[in-house]
């Protein structure tokens, strides 16, 4: 298991896994999925902040998030 601590509630991650077709989801799977997704989200957030700063803004916009996705 990863060393990072999961920060968000587990229920939304269980819903995502079930929406993807899982019949049942273990608590350890929900926790690990949360840690992985939060790690990916951290990277997206950091890059979006860089885009905003590069554009001379303090506010991160939806366009900044879309630009990160295009990378």
Structure tokens at 38: 């939060």
**Residue 33 and residue 13 in contact, taking contact as beta carbons nearer than 8 Å:** yes
Query: Which of 66, 65, 16, 7 lies closest to 38, judged by CA?
Result: 7
Q: What pLDDT, in 10s, does the model give residues 51-71?
A: 999 999 999 999 999 999 998
| Residue 29: strand, helix, or coil | helix
pTM above 0.85, yes or no: no
What's the CATH number of domain 11-70, 1.10.10.10, 2.60.40.10, 1.10.20.10, 3.30.420.40?
A: 1.10.20.10
What are the tens digits of pLDDT across the range 23-56? 999 999 999 999 999 999 999 999 999 999 999 9
State the Cα–Cα distance between residues 62 and 3, nearest whole angstrom. 31
């Amino acid at each position: 298991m990863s060393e990072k601590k999961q920060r968000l509630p587990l229920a939304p991650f269980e819903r995502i896994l079930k929406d993807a077709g899982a019949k049942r989801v273990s608590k350890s799977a929900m926790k690990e999925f949360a840690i992985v997704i939060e790690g990916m989200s951290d990277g997206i957030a950091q890059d979006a902040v860089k885009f905003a700063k590069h554009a001379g803004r303090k506010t991160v916009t939806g366009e900044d998030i879309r630009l990160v996705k295009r990378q």
